[in-house]
Amino acid sequence: MMNPVKWLKDLRDFYLVKVKWRHYQIGAGFHAGRQVFLYGKHSIRIGKNFYIGRFSEIGSRKLPHLSGRPYHHAATDDAQ
């Protein structure tokens, strides 16, 4: 019988790989701790048997929509 805590962690990793970070290439054996942030403008490639610890980041949190500044969109500015 599988440990319920391990089952929940595996389910969470499955959600992260297949739903939340589906646009990135993530190999088998991936595990992410709590509150991990991944961002790649074009792509991220992660190999097999990869662990990223809690509160870790790959990429940058300095995105326009997270910084408190209004989002700048060139097409909108040209129309005015």
**Domain parsing of the chain, residue ranges:** 4-69
pLDDT band with cut points at 50, 70 and 90 for residue 42: confident
* Model confidence pTM above 0.85: no
CA dihedral 56, 57, 58, 60 (to 10 degrees): -170
How confident is residue 53, by pLDDT bands cut at 50, 70 and 90? very high
Q: For 59-69, b where at least 16 C-beta lie within 10 A, e where not — what string?
A: eeeeeeeeeee
pLDDT at residue number 59:
85
Band of residue 66 on the pLDDT scale cut at 50, 70, 90:
low
Answer whether 47's CB lies under 8 Å from 28's CB.
Answer: no
Instruction: Tell me what percent of the residues of the chain surpass a pLDDT of 70.
Output: 74
What share of the chain in percent tops pLDDT 90? 61
